[in-house]
Structure 1
Amino acid sequence: MSTTSTTSAQPDLLYSEAEDDLRAAVRSLLAGRSDTAALLARAETGRPYDAGLWTSLAAGIGAAGLLVPEKLGGQGATHREAAVVLEELGRAVTPAPYLTSSVIATGTLLALGGEAPEELLRDMAAGRTIAVLALPLTAAAVGEEFPEGPVRAVADAAVADVLLVPRPDGLYAVRREDATLAPQTPLDLTRPLATVTVEGAPATRLADAAATRTAVQRGLLAGAGLLASEQLGVAEWCLEETVRYTRERHQFNRPVGSFQALKHRMAQLWLEVVGARAAARNAADALATGSDEAALAVSVAQAHCSRVATRAAEECVQLHAGIGMTWEHPAHLYLKRAKSDELALGSPGHHKGVLAELVALPAPR
């Protein structure tokens, strides 16, 4: 069950047995659908999603409702379990609206408390409805005012059933078919972006302005914290795939991975991935326990995991040599996901600035 009390107790960075079982279930599901050629073919159309996979993940395994209380049809779990799902989605660079719908949008709606739309949350928990917060993917915090007019770079808008639109006077729910979507060209082909316009569209008001600001901020904080787990999954796959390849690839009758220079690079990368795992788990645990240091843990995780995921993906491409540069090999998908995630929900520089404020140190110039 979810823990809601505020605490600053010692964080638990280890995986529980239940979390290991959840990981095994998600990994098994994704392994049966890891077809790079099919993914690339779908990505080229701008619609990389696999509807059957989402149904199995969201409804079959019940991952969509992990953060939703049992009384609303969810699993009543915590951010720790949702983080495990995102690790596996990152490892498989899976095109799925899990971060945007099951974490950010769900977290935003739950933060409304008594004003939360129960029917919508039930449908989201059951995997029947996908909701997306209509803010740019790069949004890291609530500004002075929410944007009016078209909103650019909204991730997963094309597959959403409901758009949650924050406006200066409150939060509104708009059906996707009533909005106007203009696809954009994303760096990460597995996470499409769109410009969303809802002016004149029928909308249902969910909350007033004050509640909206608090709820959206909590949703973005949860999203940034668990994005670190997705970045961890990207980094882990890149490291493991690079080690595997350099063991099999031979030059001068020796595995290329046995050359000292490459061993040192991979050993250093392993140390960085271990550190990223600790940071990501700390953020997930802080969110799960309602720690008063959650914002600090999230910014630490984002500042570190963003860099590690990008470096791991770059090393993966480079140490695969020629094959790593080809369209058919999935390495470029991981590099693009890592670079896109580096800017999503706040750049490393933004989070370093947040850290400076939280610990009362002058920000770097």
Structure 2
Amino acid sequence: MLEPTGEQLVFKAEVRRYLERAWPTTVTRIAVDGGPPFDTTAWSGLAAMGATGLMVPAEYGGAGASVVEAAFVCEELGRLVVAAPYLSSSVLAALLLTGLADDDVKARYLPGIADGSTVATVAFLDDRGRWHPDRIGVREEHGRLTGRVAYVTDLPAADLVLVVAAGPDGQRVHPIAQDAPGVTVEPLDCLDRTQPIGALSLADVASTGAPVDTDVLDHMVACALACLAASQVGGAERCLDLAAGYATQRVQFGRVIGSYQAIKHRCADMLARVESARSAAHHLVDAVATHAKDVAVAASLATAFCSDAYVACAGDLIQVHGGIGFTWEHDAHLYLKRAKASAHLLGDPAHHRDLLARHLLGR
């Protein structure tokens, strides 16, 4: 059972205060309206707090913290649907580089990720947006990379792309610059513009990679799923807060709408989903932090449940607000789009329920 320390809770509260001040939804809307993918000034402030280097070892300028602290940051980022490359750079890339045995590669890239000056991402998903070691889309032969990764988070915003390639001697990680010869980045038209995704194509790209074990990649994915679930809990809880707040203020037919049974029941269902999702997410975070044997089961369970809970709460948020909830001016659509998009990131609920069933049946 996850039992946060006092320091962790204080840090979480400080991150919330900073985001509410420096990164409200009005800043996020700049990215939604076609502006820069994230606010670099606000990102620098988050880095100054040490948040971007939580998963980076201390010898490379990070905090050497666990997934618990990173998950708390993601929960607060999700609460305000912040447009930031945190999951890609501070979780996926930081963990992947940390797991490598090549100290030179670590020393070259980890300090920049820790201080926020380098935004990195990882190209490792298959054509359905899932991780499977036998379905890596990039092949390495004689130091040349060829292939395509259909879904890469935070492209083209990332400065550095860590490409996972399969070769004759196993899997290797190749740091690639977007402007390298033979590299093509195609931004995708996403439902949620606060979480940009691009396709990466490599045509005979020269690169020298570092070997990586499958266990490192599996741990990276488990941590990412834990942070994603935490962000979904943060978003779902904010949907509940906004819905309950509006229900106690909006008056129709001479009565506050929160006094109507239909609204009461909808908000009560939202609360049940939020608390259940929090339990599932915390169970996964604790399992990853303690290297429990049931990490795979906890990951699929939390991902499937938290995804469904967030989508349902975002839909209820719009329903409680009625007509105003459908407008572009209201933030409800930001939460619904984030909920829908994040439910398909790293595998959709149907995929994770299938994985969960296979784990439980011993297949």
Instruction: Provide the TM-score with structure 2 as the length reference.
Output: 0.90
**Aligned pair 1:118/2:120, yes or no?**
no
> How many angstroms apart in 1 are the aligned matches of 2:99 and 2:19?
31
> Match of 2:329, SS?
coil
> How many angstroms apart in 1 are the aligned matches of 2:60 and 2:103?
13
C-alpha distance after superposition, 1:82-122 (max 9, x if no partner):
01000000001001111111111222222224568221122
> How many angstroms apart in 2 are the aligned matches of 1:136 and 1:293?
23
C-alpha distance after superposition, 1:142-178 (max 9, x if no partner):
2414103232231102221110111112221101332
**Aligned pair 1:167/2:155, yes or no?**
no
Change (3 A) 1:116 1:63: farther
Contact 1:142–1:216 under 8 Å retained in 2 = no
Output the amino acid matched with 2:90: S
**Aligned pair 1:79/2:67, yes or no?**
yes
Equivalent residues in 2 for 1:59-78 (5 A)?
59-78=47-66
> How many angstroms apart in 1 are the aligned matches of 2:56 and 2:23?
28
> How many angstroms apart in 1 are the aligned matches of 2:94 and 2:23?
27
Alignment-derived partner of residue 146 in structure 1: 136
**Aligned pair 1:314/2:321, yes or no?**
no
> Match of 1:76, SS?
coil
> How many angstroms apart in 1 are the aligned matches of 2:163 and 2:23?
34
**Aligned pair 1:286/2:287, yes or no?**
yes
Percent sequence identity over aligned pairs: 36
> Match of 2:22, SS?
coil
Alignment-derived partner of residue 4 in structure 1: none
Alignment-derived partner of residue 223 in structure 1: 224
Output the amino acid matched with 1:331: A
Output the amino acid matched with 1:160: A
Output the amino acid matched with 1:196: L
> How many angstroms apart in 1 are the aligned matches of 2:307 and 2:38?
24
Return the offset for 1:214.
3.4
Alignment-derived partner of residue 8 in structure 1: none
> How many angstroms apart in 2 are the aligned matches of 1:69 and 1:228?
24
> How many angstroms apart in 2 are the aligned matches of 1:38 and 1:114?
38
Is there any run of 5+ residues in structure 1 with no aligned partner, and where?
Answer: 1-10
Equivalent residues in 2 for 1:45-56 (5 A)?
45=34, 47-56=36-45
C-alpha distance after superposition, 1:129-151 (max 9, x if no partner):
12100134963322414103232
Return the offset for 1:69.
2.0
C-alpha distance after superposition, 1:5-48 (max 9, x if no partner):
xxxxxx22x33211211112211111113444443233222633
Output the amino acid matched with 1:205: G
> Match of 2:193, SS?
coil
> How many angstroms apart in 2 are the aligned matches of 1:50 and 1:131?
16
> How many angstroms apart in 2 are the aligned matches of 1:35 and 1:273?
22
Output the amino acid matched with 1:334: Y
C-alpha distance after superposition, 1:195-250 (max 9, x if no partner):
2223244433122xxx3533323222211122100100110000000000111101
Contact 2:148–2:200 under 8 Å retained in 1 = yes
How many corresponding residue pairs? 347
Alignment-derived partner of residue 250 in structure 1: 251
**Aligned pair 1:192/2:196, yes or no?**
yes
Change (3 A) 1:121 1:34: closer
Question: Which structure carries more strand by proportion?
Answer: 2
**Aligned pair 1:132/2:132, yes or no?**
no
Give the RMSD, CA atoms, in angstroms.
Answer: 1.9
Equivalent residues in 2 for 1:89-128 (5 A)?
89-113=77-101, 117-119=105-107, 120-128=109-117
Change (3 A) 1:161 1:41: closer
Change (3 A) 1:111 1:187: same
> Match of 1:158, SS?
coil
Output the amino acid matched with 1:127: G
Is there any run of 5+ residues in structure 2 with no aligned partner, and where?
Answer: 139-146
Change (3 A) 1:202 1:64: farther
> How many angstroms apart in 2 are the aligned matches of 1:290 and 1:38?
37
Return the offset for 1:327.
0.5
Return the offset for 1:361.
6.4
Output the amino acid matched with 2:40: A
Alignment-derived partner of residue 3 in structure 1: none
Alignment-derived partner of residue 296 in structure 1: 297
> Match of 1:133, SS?
strand
Alignment-derived partner of residue 31 in structure 1: 20
> How many angstroms apart in 2 are the aligned matches of 1:90 and 1:48?
16
C-alpha distance after superposition, 1:237-279 (max 9, x if no partner):
0000000011110112221011111101111210111111111
> How many angstroms apart in 2 are the aligned matches of 1:118 and 1:313?
40
C-alpha distance after superposition, 1:293-334 (max 9, x if no partner):
222211111111011000000000111101100001111011
> How many angstroms apart in 1 are the aligned matches of 2:27 and 2:42?
13
> Match of 1:95, SS?
coil
Alignment-derived partner of residue 179 in structure 2: 177
> How many angstroms apart in 1 are the aligned matches of 2:104 and 2:277?
34
Contact 2:25–2:80 under 8 Å retained in 1 = no
